[in-house]
Amino acid sequence: MPLSNEASLVSDLPALGQDPGRTYRLGIMGGTFDPIHNGHLVAAEQACNDLDLDVVVFVPAGSPAFKQDRRVSSPEDRHAMTLLATADNPRFLVSRMEVDRPGVTYTVDTLELLRAYYPDNVELYFITGADAIIDIITWRDAARIAQLAHLVGATRPGYDLESARASIAASGIDFTVSYLEVPALAISSSDLRARVARGQSLRYLTSDAVLGYIEKRGLYEPPRLSYTAPDALGLIGGLGRDVR
Ligand code: ATP
Ligand code: MG
């Protein structure tokens, strides 16, 4: 798919691949990050350690393909929270490539762009939660995704890997998948949003900087009930008036 203004989309990507005598490993953590939480961060950190990744680039989705049915915070807010959460880790970086790309985001387009940008001695590792690994076989151009990147599936201890392996094998697509055991898998952005809506704390589920940002911007708070005074509707002393 032709992408608009490709040079500016890659302007915040890390320089990698300079030494032709070695192989570099670039992790990609795609997500809506509404908000980013410790599950994402632990999974990325574990992938860095277990697979010896040089860096992990977090790529907040612009307009996510799978979340067209709910209100998603603005790309700028989700990008800002991702920057705040990753700022203190020198191996974590954030890219605006999907935020700045118009239209719905597809992983295959992002991987194509990264593949075209980096030399061949840079390998791509696309990190997802294990549940998403099973979904990937249904994603747009799944077979191309398998050619472009190794997949990294973050599983919780005790997760039933056999069903993931079986679905991938049944797809007939030649994915290479590494599974990681990550301890923080029960945390989800949906749960964090629900907690804010109920007035509960998010402390220790995401970074303090992200907590402050959510509060400052009023993200995930339930919409305030709007009350319109009766006289503003023309009801006082005027029942029967045309109220619009
Ligand atoms: P939501 O609840 O809104 O779907 P989420 O917590 O799943 O949010 P996403 O932004 O949708 O977060 O996910 C980005 C990526 O991170 C996906 O690949 C997802 O599988 C993975 N992921 C989400 N939560 C965890 C977690 N606790 N541990 C490891 N990976 C996770
Ligand atoms: Mg999700």
Cβ atoms of 230 and 236 closer than 8 Å: yes
- Ligand 1 atom closest to residue 38's alpha carbon, by position in its atom list: 27
**High-pLDDT (> 90) share of the chain, %:** 64
Cβ atoms of 38 and 86 closer than 8 Å: no
Residues 6+ apart with CB under 8 A from 9: 3, 96, 97, 100, 101, 113
Indicate if the pLDDT at residue 212 is higher than 70. Answer: yes
Query: Which comes out higher in pLDDT, residue 189 or 157?
Result: 189
Q: What pLDDT is attached to residue 240?
A: 38
Query: Which comes out higher in pLDDT, residue 50 or 129?
Result: 50
Q: What pLDDT is attached to residue 156?
A: 77
* Cα separation, 244 vs 223, whole angstroms: 23
User: Which residues form the pocket of ligand 1, taking CB atoms under 6 Å from any ligand atom?
Assistant: 31-34, 39-40, 43, 128-129, 131-132, 154, 182, 184-185, 187-190
Binned at pLDDT 50, 70 and 90, residue 66 comes out as: low
Q: What residues form DSSP beta bridges with 124?
A: 26
Report pLDDT digits (tens) over 173-183: 999 999 998 88
Q: How far is the CA of 193 from the centre of ligand 2 (A)?
A: 12
Binned at pLDDT 50, 70 and 90, residue 65 comes out as: low
Separation of CA 108 from chain center: 14
**High-pLDDT (> 70) share of the chain, %:** 87
Ligand 1 probe mutation, 189, 192, 220, most atoms within 8 A of CB = 189
Homologous superfamily in CATH for domain 22-187: HUPs (3.40.50.620)
* Cα separation, 236 vs 33, whole angstroms: 48
Indicate if the pLDDT at residue 172 is higher than 60. Answer: yes
Report pLDDT digits (tens) over 98-117: 999 988 888 999 999 999 99
Tokens 């109920």 map to which residue? 198
Query: Which comes out higher in pLDDT, residue 9 or 199?
Result: 199
Q: What pLDDT is attached to residue 68?
A: 60
Q: What pLDDT is attached to residue 241?
A: 37
pTM to 2 decimal places: 0.88
Cβ atoms of 10 and 113 closer than 8 Å: yes
Q: What pLDDT is attached to residue 9?
A: 87
Task: Write the residue with the smallest CA distance to atom 31 of ligand 1.
Answer: 129
